[in-house]
Amino acid sequence: MLVVASVLSVVLLVGFLGSLLLLLRWNRRYPEPRLDWTKVDTEVVRFPKGFLWGVATSAHQVEGGCDNNNWSQWEKQSAPDGTPRISGGQNSGAACDHWNLFLEDLDLIRQTGAGAYRFSLEWSKIEPRPGRFDQAALDHYHQVLDALNDRGIVPMATLHHFTHPLWFERLGAFEKEENIPHFVRFCERVFSEYQGSVRLWCTVNEPAVFATMGYLMGIFPPGRRDPGQAAHVLRNLLLAHAKAYHALKHLPGGESASIGAVKNIFQLDPHRRWYLPDWLLARVGDAFYNEAALHYLRTGTFKFSLPGVLKLQTMELEVMGSLDFIGLNYYSHVNVKLLLNPRNPVSYAARPGDTMTDMPYAIYPEGFKRALHRVSTLGVPIYVTENGIADSRDDRRAQFIRRYLYSMYRAMEDGCDVRGYFYWTLMDNFEWAEGYDMKFGLFHTDFVTQKRTLRRGSRELSRIIREKTGSTNQSQ
């Protein structure tokens, strides 16, 4: 009897430990999925006929002459300790002078083999004062759209890409729910103006980046560090998206229009597998940065809590069902590690052996597939609205393109409904707090002569578009 009982307890113990190990995926070195890229054949990719290949920009980063919005004001300021807000005290200034050079730039898009262009309409130029719309600015974007359509390039227009007029900033922007109608009025006006020429509309770009950088980390305007305010801004921006979505759907042309929001996914993975605080940290970060928005869009409930600091829960059913598609912006992930340093409690260090981009994160193509699966849970078609690398030496771009597109292909094979892919970005431009230091462009920009030169690594994108699209291997 004693022997049976001991054997049974050993079996139970082994079983318990076994399942625990399985649960923790003991065969993995790190908590997050990683491929051995030396064994992957990235040439197997195939994309369906009709897949939309594009490039992306945003107004403030390329146009120049944006001197009446929240960023123009921010660029002139310094932090309380005297450090300029933008790296090296730069400002957006004339940027790529895309406002004047757009015809040449649209020809560059064609050169890459892409057939779609994601750009943003600069609210501060179109509505410089509340309710007063500037005809010259409205005409300008008509010219851009005509030029795109003449060239057979599909336009995707973004309505809010981090910038808004100074008058809106002074009203408290998205800190206050009562300001949302101003945004909706702008959206209605430009939608009525351009709906005949725009195929795809993005309401807001990356609400979590806007809220985190501007209201939690203080790196973007208005430079706050307040978790409560960040949570409100995140919620209000998503609510603004939903309100704009429904308003546009009720306008002529609205029913058949394709309108979505753009979500950036940046995974926060625990640095150490066996250290619970790293997992908790990753969980809380992810809840704010990724899950709060996805959950709100899925269920109409916005909830975020930080024990002892804040608890926010609201329900707006109009947010549910406010997407014809979801735009996914994907770059990388971070590994979070809790440090015993009250002034600097979190490290985001990469893994040994990781290849870094010029931004403070590594190349992590595996995360692209994870992110596509995650946004698939929204149940609507997906457009990858941004993906790209800052690589001033141009020695990682080609491999980045091959591996990320391989990951996207795998996600599509798994059933993710991806309809298009927009590379960030057409040409080097004003990279927000980093100024002109980051070189994300397929084309190098000489900011003195405004000459654009195609980078060697960028040719990989053109090759894949040309050779791997519309093949009979893929069901269409």
- The least CB distance from residue 382 to ligand GAL, in Å, is 16
β-strand partners of 311: 305
- The least CB distance from residue 329 to ligand GAL, in Å, is 6
- The least CB distance from residue 436 to ligand GAL, in Å, is 12
Window contacting ligand GAL (CB under 6 A); options: 102-110, 135-143, 201-209, 374-382: 201-209
User: Is 436 a residue that touches ligand GAL (CB under 6 A)?
Assistant: no
Window contacting ligand GAL (CB under 6 A); options: 110-118, 193-201, 205-213, 334-342: 205-213
The residue within the footprint of ligand GAL, chosen from 71, 174, 432, 443 (CB under 6 A), is 432
DSSP 259-290: EEEEEEEEEEEES-TT-HHHHHHHHHHHIIII
CA separation for the pair 313, 371 (Å, rounded): 25
Choose between 278 and 386: whose C-beta lies nearer to ligand GAL.
386
Q: Own/partner pairs for 248-256, CB < 8 Å, 24+ apart?
A: 248/187, 248/188, 248/191, 248/201, 251/188, 251/191, 251/192, 251/195, 252/192, 252/195, 253/191, 253/195, 253/196, 254/191, 254/195
Query: For the CA atoms of the chain, what is the radius of gyration?
Result: 23
To which H or E segment does residue 18 belong? helix 2-23
Residues in 53-112 that interact with ligand GAL by CB under 6 A: 58, 61
Choose between 207 and 254: whose C-beta lies nearer to ligand GAL.
207
- The burial of 29, by beta-carbon neighbours within 10 Å (0-12 exposed, 13-18 middle, 19 or more buried), is given as exposed
Residue 53: both structure tokens together: 């290949």
Choose between 122 and 206: whose C-beta lies nearer to ligand GAL.
206
Choose between 282 and 390: whose C-beta lies nearer to ligand GAL.
390
Size of the site for ligand GAL (CB under 6 A): 12
User: Is 205 a residue that touches ligand GAL (CB under 6 A)?
Assistant: yes
In this structure, what is the dihedral angle of CA atoms 122, 128, 130, 135, given to the nearest 10 degrees? -90
- The least CB distance from residue 11 to ligand GAL, in Å, is 52
> Cβ(201)–Cβ(159) under 8 Å?
yes
Residues in 233-272 that interact with ligand GAL by CB under 6 A: 264
The residue within the footprint of ligand GAL, chosen from 75, 206, 278, 366 (CB under 6 A), is 206
Site of interaction with ligand GAL (CB under 6 A): 58, 61, 205-206, 209, 264, 329, 386, 424, 431-432, 440
